[in-house]
């Protein structure tokens, strides 16, 4: 038999055929070795396996496993060993990382080679440095010291001479690790030297000036607009506003004094928000009642019109802008039977004005109206200001037709281990679209004791959106998996003994108790399977039946009528010999028939009685079956 060509060897990689046998080998160039004993290359056989049969995790002298490399160096100076494993096999990596402030010289990892040796060496870690600062393109670059590359954590000083400052400005940067770029660089204060900036001076009421630059030394002339008179001066005693070294504009007490707009007034149920009425001033309004807002909503502004100041609009009025609220409006779809009323309780309305009316559409709808078809009912609440809010109630005619439901086929659960339970979750029922399907029970746990027992069916229920239900049932059969000892029953009045075969599978022997035997077989019965096929000669085990002594008697009588004559001795002797030959042939045939019921291992004894001659001759032969 060529196990290699037939594919029955169980070798995981290379099968080498030999005369009368075979052996397995592995692809050593890819780093594999043959698994020869438990623990080869630190691979261990699970407790529930032997390693001697097909299908085991590690089949001795059949399975190929990866080589293991020796433990790598687990520490480097100024660095760390990153791999948490203690076993490394072909293709796996041992990785390293330098401590913060150090950079790596060499590869970050070593690889376990096919020969079981490491490819590469552990790296080295040296002190990290930051490159010099790049000052190209700066309008006001600082003086940097030191200007060369510096090691990790070192500080670089940046000195600036700033207009407006008596003393130079010193800033610093430090050599640090930048996690966004994974590089070491100088980080800290701005590179460019600072400039005193006073920012936008804003607009003073009644003024009309133009601002140029906003840095230290920049200035502008304070000018008032028409209908306004300039008053006051800067701290320098003039009308020039300068940017000082404290980053503030020197307005002094400069101001524009002019006419003002008159008080615009306020709405009857609101109040005014204003601090001044000068040119450019804004006035806003707030309404006192909840849900009311000023209309128009934009503020009033004091502007120049001709040769005087006036407001650009009239005082607004407070108007109700809040919609009513509908209470107790059904949010979900309502289902009613055909020719029944919906029985809706109409929603009520509240409003900040204290008044709101509720209308219904269609106008002919009534809560006690008998329905024959679906309808959408809209309730609308409106207040005296015309603010409105609506809600819609969807009423649908309930169908009383149960959902369709098809149960799955009967489920067969195969028990593969008689000591471990098997849990099954039930699925597979098909119901109408939108129907919710439930199983009772939803799952069950079965054991070897359930094999071939009658179990309660699983009840499937389908429930649609209208609460109509349908049910069906399916059965669950628990069977023993092929080629498992518990798939064979022990014989009645006997016992079963099973052993695992070296090549996989089992051999079971059936033995009868004392005083019992198999009817159609001599001695014990043997059953075998190779791990993937059914039992041979089958799954049927006959009963052991009681053995008992049986006596079979055959009598033959022949009468010879001498017609009143005398029989001489010679005649009698000849006749007796002939009779004996005939009776022997008859009894031999009787023995053959009895042999059909003979069970090997029992005793059968033949007894032939004496043959007598006279007027009556008889021969008797008995067989004892024990």
pLDDT in tens, 431-456: 998 899 999 999 999 988 888 888 88
pLDDT reported for residue 619:
33
Grouping H, G, I as helix, E, B as strand and the rest as coil, residue 100 is coil
**Residue with more model confidence, 437 or 551:** 437
The pLDDT value given to residue 380 = 96
- In angstroms, the CA 250 to CA 220 distance is 10
Rounded Cα distance, 249 and 198, in Å:
6
In this predicted structure, the answer to whether residue 586 has a pLDDT above a threshold of 80 is no
Residue range 523-539: mean pLDDT, rounded: 85
Q: 379 pLDDT exceeds 90?
A: yes
Max mean pLDDT range (190-194, 279-283, 386-390): 386-390
Better-predicted residue by pLDDT, 173 or 480: 173
Which pLDDT value is given to residue 388?
95
Average pLDDT over residues 164-176: 88
pLDDT at 617: 32
Reading phi first (left if > 0) and then psi (alpha if -120 to 50, else beta), residue 531 is in left
Query: Residue 566 has what pLDDT?
Result: 66
Average pLDDT over residues 585-592: 72
pLDDT band of 595, cuts 50, 70, 90: low
For the chain, give the percent of residues with pLDDT over 90.
54
Write the DSSP string, 133-189: P--TT-SSPPEEES-S-EETT-EEEEEE--TT-SS-EEEEEEEEEETTTTEEEEEES
Please give the pLDDT value at position 588.
Answer: 73
Question: What average pLDDT does the segment 256-272 reach?
Answer: 89
Residue 37 confidence class, pLDDT cut points 50, 70, 90: very high
- Answer yes or no: are the C-beta atoms of 284 and 295 closer than 8 Å: no
Cα 33 from chain centroid?
37
Q: Are 22 and 3 spatial neighbours (Cβ–Cβ below 8 Å)?
A: yes
DSSP 8-state assignment for residue 593: H
- Classify 310 as helix, strand or coil: strand
Question: Which pLDDT score is estimated for 461?
Answer: 96
Confidence of residue 234 (pLDDT cuts 50, 70, 90): very high
Mean pLDDT of 370-387: 93
Residue 564: band (very low, low, confident or very high) from pLDDT cuts 50, 70, 90: low
Structure tokens at 276: 């001044």
Are the C-beta atoms of residues 415 and 479 closer than 8 Å to each other? yes
Is residue 399 predicted with pLDDT exceeding 90? no
Cβ(535)–Cβ(529) below 8 Å: yes
The pLDDT value given to residue 607? 52
Within 19-75, strands assigned E span: 21-25, 32-34, 64-66, 68-69
What are 543's two structure tokens?
Answer: 């009963």
Mean pLDDT of 342-353: 90
State yes or no: pLDDT of 228 exceeds 90.
Answer: no
Give the pLDDT confidence score for residue 626 in this predicted structure: 28
Average pLDDT estimate for 457-466: 91
Determine what percent of the chain is predicted with pLDDT higher than 70: 90
What's the pLDDT at 465? 81
CB distance 471 to 484 below 8 Å? no
The CA distance from 277 to 296, in Å, is 20
CB 264 within 8 A of CB 315: yes
pLDDT (tens digit per residue) in 118-165: 999 999 999 999 999 999 998 889 999 999 999 999 999 999 988 878
Q: What is the pTM of this model?
A: 0.35
> Predicted confidence band at 325 (pLDDT cuts at 50, 70, 90)?
very high
* Mean pLDDT of all residues in 11-39: 94
Query: Span 180-192, mean pLDDT?
Result: 92
Average pLDDT over the chain, rounded to an integer: 86
Q: What are phi and psi of 541, to 5 degrees?
A: -115, 120
> Is residue 29 pLDDT above 90, yes or no?
yes
pLDDT of residue 124: 94
Return the H-helix or E-strand segment holding 579.
helix 569-595
The helix or strand, by DSSP H or E, that contains position 553, with its residue range, turns out to be: strand 550-558
- Mapped onto helix, strand or coil, the DSSP state of residue 624 is strand
275, two tokens: 């601090």
pLDDT at 419 over 80: no
Q: What is the pLDDT of residue 86?
A: 85
């Amino acid at each position: 038999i060529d196990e290699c060509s037939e594919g029955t060897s169980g070798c995981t990689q290379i099968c080498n055929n030999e005369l009368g046998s075979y052996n397995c080998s592995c692809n050593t160039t890819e780093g594999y070795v043959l698994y020869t004993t438990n623990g080869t290359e630190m691979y261990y056989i699970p407790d529930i396996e032997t390693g001697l049969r097909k299908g085991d995790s590690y089949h001795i002298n059949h399975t190929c496993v990866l080589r293991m490399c020796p433990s790598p160096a687990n520490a480097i100076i100024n660095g760390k060993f990153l791999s948490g494993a203690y076993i490394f096999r072909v293709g796996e990596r041992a990785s390293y990382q330098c401590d913060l402030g150090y950079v790596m010289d060499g590869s970050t990892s070593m690889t376990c080679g096919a020969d079981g040796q490491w490819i590469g060496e552990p790296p080295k870690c040296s002190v990290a440095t930051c490159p010099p600062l790049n000052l190209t393109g700066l309008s006001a670059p600082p003086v940097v010291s030191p200007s060369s590359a510096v090691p990790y954590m070192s500080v670089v000083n940046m000195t600036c001479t700033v207009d407006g400052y008596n003393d130079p400005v010193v800033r610093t940067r430090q050599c640090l690790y930048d996690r966004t770029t994974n590089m070491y660089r100088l980080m800290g204060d701005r590179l460019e030297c600072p400039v005193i900036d006073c920012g936008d001076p804003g607009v003073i009421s009644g003024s009309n000036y133009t601002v140029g630059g906003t840095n230290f030394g920049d200035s502008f002339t304070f000018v008032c607009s028409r209908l306004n008179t300039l008053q006051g001066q800067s701290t320098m005693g003039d009308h020039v506003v300068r940017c000082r070294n404290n980053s503030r504009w020197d307005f002094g007490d400069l101001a524009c004094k002019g006419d003002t707009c008159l008080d615009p007034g306020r709405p009857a149920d609101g109040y005014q928000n204003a601090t001044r009425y000068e040119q450019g001033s804004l006035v806003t309004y707030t309404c006192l009642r909840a849900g009311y807002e000023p209309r128009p909503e934009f503020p009033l502004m004091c502007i120049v019109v001709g040769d005087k100041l006036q407001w650009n609009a009239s005082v607004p009025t407070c108007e109700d802008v809040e919609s009513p609220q509908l209470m107790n409006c059904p949010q979900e779809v309502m289902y009613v039977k055909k020719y029944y009323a919906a029985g809706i309780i109409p929603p009520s309305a509240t409003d900040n004005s204290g008044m709101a009316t509720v209308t219904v559409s269609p106008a002919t709808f009534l809560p006690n109206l008998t329905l024959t078809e679906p309808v959408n009912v809209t309730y609308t609440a409106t207040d005296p200001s015309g603010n409105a809010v609506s809600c819609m109630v969807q009423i649908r005619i309930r169908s009383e037709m149960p959902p369709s439901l098809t149960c799955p086929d009967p489920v067969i659960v195969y028990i593969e281990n008689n000591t471990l339970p098997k849990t099954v979750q039930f699925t597979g029922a098909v119901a109408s679209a939108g129907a919710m399907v439930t199983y009772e029970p939803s799952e069950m746990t079965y054991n070897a004791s359930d094999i071939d027992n009658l179990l309660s069916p699983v009840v499937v229920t389908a429930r649609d959106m209208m609460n109509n239900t349908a049910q069906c049932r399916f059965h669950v059969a628990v069977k023993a998996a092929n080629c498992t000892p518990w798939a064979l029953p022990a014989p009645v009045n006997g016992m079963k003994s099973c052993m695992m075969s070296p090549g996989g599978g089992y051999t079971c022997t059936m033995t009868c108790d004392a005083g019992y035997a198999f009817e159609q077989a001599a001695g014990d019965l043997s059953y075998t399977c190779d791990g993937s096929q059914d039992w041979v000669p089958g799954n049927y085990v006959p009963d052991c039946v009681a053995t008992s002594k049986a006596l079979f008697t055959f009598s033959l009588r022949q009468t010879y009528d001498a017609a009143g004559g005398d029989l001489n001795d010679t005649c009698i002797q000849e006749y007796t010999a002939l009779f004996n030959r005939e009776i022997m042939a008859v009894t031999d045939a009787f023995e053959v028939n009895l042999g059909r019921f003979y069970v090997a291992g029992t005793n059968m004894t033949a007894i032939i009685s004496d043959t007598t001659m006279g007027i009556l001759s008889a021969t008797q032969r008995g067989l004892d079956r024990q």
